[in-house]
Amino acid sequence: MKLARQIGMLLCVALVSTAAMAADVGLRIGFVDTDRILKESAPAARAAKRLEKEFEGRRQDVQKLADQGKALQAQLDKGGLADADRKDKERQLVKLNLDYQRMQRELNEDLNSRRNEELSGIQERVNNAIQQIANNEKYDLILQEAAYRSPRIDITDKVLKLLSDK
């Protein structure tokens, strides 16, 4: 535990001294909150709407299967069925459950694949916007992940504005 604390202190000292040197040299640093970009940007909102529209029919099909399974389970729970009917309905329920699980898994896999495609396109646009801001405003370093950042170096609003203009 002491070793970890000592290493942490050394890292803090190194970061503080690096920041002090950067200030002396005139190093310009910015930070972009990627999570916020993916939640609030116009391209992310458009991508979410496209995905919703694209997968709505399949979601409804999966929901129909779930509803059929619930109805069949309710019939079985109600009782009063002959043994042959009960066994037939149990087989139907097992088949419905397997179909539901398969369709749900396929839907999730396809949705994740498409979401990743959309996110890579958005990330490319975000990177281009960051590059444009860095060039125009003469930034030396722009980070997208950090354990801590001062609000003073946060340029997320500039990136969001640039993305909304496109």
Cα–Cα dist 44/84, whole Å: 53
Q: Going residue by residue through the chain (166 aa), what tens digit of pLDDT does each one get?
A: 566 666 655 555 455 555 555 555 689 999 999 999 999 999 999 999 999 999 999 999 999 999 999 998 888 888 777 888 888 888 999 999 999 999 999 999 999 999 999 999 999 999 999 999 999 999 999 999 888 888 999 999 999 999 987 6
pLDDT score recorded for residue 146: 86
CA distances from 94 to 47, 58, 69, 83, 131 (A): 36, 21, 9, 16, 55
Nearest to 96 by CA among 121, 127, 74: 74
CATH architecture for segment(s) 2-165: 2-Layer Sandwich (3.30)
Cα dihedral: 50, 52, 58, 59 (round 10): 180
pLDDT score recorded for residue 3: 62
Angular region, 26: left φ>0, alpha ψ -120 to 50, beta rest: left
pLDDT score recorded for residue 77: 84
Q: How many CB atoms lie within 10 A of CB 121?
A: 12
Q: Are 126 and 37 in contact (CB under 8 A)?
A: yes
Q: Are 165 and 67 in contact (CB under 8 A)?
A: no
Q: Are 125 and 163 in contact (CB under 8 A)?
A: yes
pTM: 0.69
List helix spans (H) across the chain.
2-25, 34-40, 42-78, 83-137, 156-165
pLDDT score recorded for residue 25: 65
